[in-house]
Amino acid sequence: VTEGDRLHQPTDNLLENLLSSGTKADLLLLFHRNPGLIDTAEGIARRLGKKGKAIETDISQLANSSILKTKKVGGSEVYFLNQEKDKEAQGDIADYITNLGGKRRS
């Protein structure tokens, strides 16, 4: 699955994917409130009051959805917000929700 495929998944799946767990929502909220944040998984977990292992799966999934980016810094892998893709995803979700009311009512 390429990055492009992942980004062009149906938006209802995108919304359900991004909000499939409380930890994922906490991670999104943390990065949206601190858009310049760059930290290791362990450091990010600490900021959420959790242990590194507890967020491992969710942070990897957000990286797979291209909402987060990773890079190696001094032998450690750090995560940061992919602002461009995040904005794109937010736009898709907003469009999806805007059209949702009509679909649900009909």
Among 25, 51, 64, 71, binds other proteins (CB under 8 A): 25
Q: Are 21 and 4 in contact (CB under 8 A)?
A: no
Contact stretch for other proteins (CB under 8 A) within 25-33, 39-47, 53-61, 70-78 = 25-33
Nearest to 61 by CA among 11, 21, 105, 100: 21
3 is a contact residue toward other proteins (CB under 8 A): no
Q: In what order do the strands lie in the sheet with 38-40?
A: 38-40, 76-81, 68-73
29 is a contact residue toward other proteins (CB under 8 A): yes
Q: Which residues here bind other proteins, judged by CB under 8 A? A: 15-16, 18-22, 24-26, 28-29, 32-33, 87, 90-91, 93-94, 97-98, 100-101, 104
